[in-house]
Each structure stands twice: as C-alpha cells, then as structure tokens.
C-alpha cells in the first residue's frame, strides 16, 4: 500500500448511510474499515464491493459503546493499513414513542449506542487520528423539526452535536477537523421502519426539493468534509434538502 494512502473507519458501515459512506470514501481512494455490530454478511458484502472495484477494505465487529471493542477497531486499522485519518460515526439506533409512553430501558439503550457510542469512538479518534485528519459524527435534522415521538432520539443526537463542538476545540494545533452531518428524512430501512406510507409521503414532500434524501446525498457531504472541506470545522451541516 502506498505510504500516502488515507484510511477511514466507518461505524455502522454495513448498511444505509454508513454503507454508502464507506463506498464513497473508497471511491476517493481511502482504505476502509467497515465496523458492524451484528450484520456480518452485509459488512462483508461492502468489503467485497470495495475490493472488487480495486480498493482496500476490512470488516471488524464492534459494539461502539465498549471501549475494548473500539480500541480493537483502531488496532486493526493500524495493523492492516498503517494508521487512521478519518473516522465516521454513523452507527446509531432510533426507537420512537411519545415521551409519556417511553420505556426507560429503551431510553438507556438508545443513549448507550448514540451518546456513549459516539463518545467512545470519538475518544479513540481524538487519541489516534493522524494530523490532517477528520472526525465526522452523525446527528439529525429532526432536532430542528421537533416531531412527536422523537424525544429520546433527538436528545441523544443533541448530545452528539454538543460533543462535536467541544472535540473540535480540543483538537487545536493538530489540523484535525471535527464536524457533524445532520441528515433529514433519508430513504433507508432505518427511516422506513415503523412508518406507514402516508407518513413517508408527507415527510418526502416537506423539503422544497420534494423528495426523501438518499444515502448518497449524505455520503457526498461526508466525502466533502473528509476531503476538500478543510475550512469547515466545529459545525453541524444540515443535509436535508431545505426542510429547516
């Protein structure tokens, strides 16, 4: 592998926005570490697609909220490819219900993955990303919409946004950018789960562009932040077609 090859870790890389981000960064020449928690076959499919196209990729299983697992991901990236330049925190879960009815064990599970997971991955990234790299978290544009049923999810992503701002400042002197991408409604199984067609159609009409976002839309924003968008730092990019 060429010494100047850049390396990206993508959590939640087996499907949805994470999958498309892994493929997009691979197309830009990155070696990719696809991190998955349970979808091994899907993660291996992403790896195969990258390697068939001439790229380099590996899949690593990890619970993003477990320090030992995440440390092992970074170890694998360094052992396989020589280092880490970009970390994309795309892993997350969403369980919707009105706050009056919300199960608190489910709340703990959502926050464990979305807040603790983002924190643990960012902690390793802050320690180990090479100078000149990028850390890119994922939030949600639902924070600005305030839709009923989303309280637990937006609370977790609000924490990610706040964390992102702090980490950007903590990276002073290392030429490492830290940003968050906040997609609007995006055509993935993550979004479709639990929604009827009328709800999906209504949300698709909300942006002035009158469609749902695609995983490719979000991946393009990540690729820009990881590559040429070096002067964007400590920001939340609301990639939502103009909803808010």
| Percent of residues, the chain, with pLDDT higher than 70 | 97
Task: Give the pLDDT of residue 133.
Answer: 97
Domain architecture of the chain: domains with CATH: 7-181+222-237 (3.40.50.720)
Mean pLDDT over the full length of the chain: 93
Is the Cβ–Cβ distance between 231 and 225 less than 8 Å? no
CA distance 226 to 36: 21
Q: Give the model confidence (pLDDT) of 122-160 as tens digits.
A: 999 999 999 999 999 999 999 998 889 999 999 999 999
Contact 218, 239 (CB under 8 A): yes
- Evaluate whether 185 touches 191 at the Cβ level (below 8 Å): yes
- Exactly one of 30, 36, 150, 153 is catalytic; name it: 153
In the chain, alpha helices (H): 16-27, 40-52, 67-81, 104-111, 117-128, 142-145, 151-170, 189-192, 197-205, 215-226
pLDDT per position as a tens digit, 60-79: 999 999 999 999 999 999 99
Task: List the one residue out of 88, 75, 24 whose CA is nearest residue 53.
Answer: 24
- What's the rounded mean pLDDT across residues 36-49? 96
Q: How far apart are CA 113 and CA 115, in angstroms?
A: 6
Query: Where do we find the tokens 């639990």?
Result: 194
36 assigned to active site? no
**pLDDT for the residue numbered 3:** 56
The pLDDT tens digits for 208-242 are 887 888 889 999 999 999 999 999 999 999 999 88
| pLDDT tens digits for range 14-30 | 999 999 999 999 999 99
């Amino acid at each position: 592998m060429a010494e100047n090859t850049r390396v990206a870790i993508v959590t939640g890389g087996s499907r949805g926005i994470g999958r498309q981000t892994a493929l997009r960064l691979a197309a830009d020449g990155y070696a990719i570490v696809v991190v998955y928690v349970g979808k091994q076959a899907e993660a291996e499919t992403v790896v195969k697609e990258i390697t068939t196209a001439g790229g380099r990729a590996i899949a690593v299983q990890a619970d993003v909220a477990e320090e030992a697992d995440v440390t092992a991901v970074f170890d694998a990236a360094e052992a396989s490819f020589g280092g880490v330049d970009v970390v994309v925190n795309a892993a997350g879960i969403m369980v919707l219900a009105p706050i009056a009815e919300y199960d608190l064990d489910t709340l703990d599970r959502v926050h464990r993955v979305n807040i603790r997971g983002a924190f643990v991955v960012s902690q390793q990234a802050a320690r180990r990303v090479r100078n000149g790299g990028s850390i890119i978290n994922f939030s949600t544009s639902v924070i600005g919409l305030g839709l009923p049923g989303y309280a637990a999810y937006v609370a977790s992503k609000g924490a990610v946004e706040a964390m992102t701002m702090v980490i950007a400042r903590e990276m002073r002197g290392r030429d490492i950018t830290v940003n968050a991408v906040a997609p609007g409604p995006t055509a993935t199984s993550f979004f479709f789960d639990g929604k009827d067609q009328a709800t999906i159609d209504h949300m698709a009409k909300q942006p002035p562009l009158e469609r749902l976002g695609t995983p490719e839309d979000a991946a393009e924003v990540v690729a820009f932040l990881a590559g040429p968008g070096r002067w964007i730092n400590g920001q939340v990019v609301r990639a939502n077609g103009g909803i808010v």
